[in-house]
Amino acid sequence: MWNKPSVEELDKLPRFYSTEGVPFKEKLIVMHFFMGGSDWFAAEYDPGEKTFFGFVILNADYEMAEWGYFSLQELSELKVSFLEVDRDLYWTPRKAVEVEQIRKAEGWQEEVVNQVK
């Protein structure tokens, strides 16, 4: 994995279930990982299990994209030829509804973004 997050960076993510009462549109997406047409958006983290909760889009398949769990180890080990998962170093935490890829996959209209802000 390129640009693997440090323990200190991971400690800044909300812990599992701490945002359980927050609607999906309002969940803060703290980290973004990507490789090719795949994106992993992290909203929560469990340091014991080294597992994230967030939104995943694999191979640009927006119909099958979903909220769920993915592990740091799986992301770290995923390699296709010379490609590895990378962390977006320029990512600014924002609400899920403000992330274009999530909005597209969830079918949330752009007007919703303006209503949430």
Residue 117 — very low, low, confident or very high, per pLDDT cuts 50/70/90?
A: low
pTM score above 0.85: yes
83, part of any domain = yes
What integer is the mean pLDDT of 97-114?
A: 84
- Rounded Cα distance, 33 and 85, in Å: 7
12, part of any domain = yes
51, part of any domain = yes
End-to-end CA distance of the chain: 34
1, part of any domain = no
Share in percent of the chain as helix, strand, coil (round to 5): 25, 35, 40
55, part of any domain = yes
Number of domains, the chain: 1
2, part of any domain = no
The DSSP H or E segment spanning 114 is helix 110-116
44, part of any domain = yes
Note the pLDDT of residue 72: 97
Note the pLDDT of residue 114: 57
Boundaries of domain holding 53: 7-116
99, part of any domain = yes
Note the pLDDT of residue 109: 81
- Picking from 68, 74, 69, 7, the residue whose alpha carbon sits closest to that of residue 35 is 74
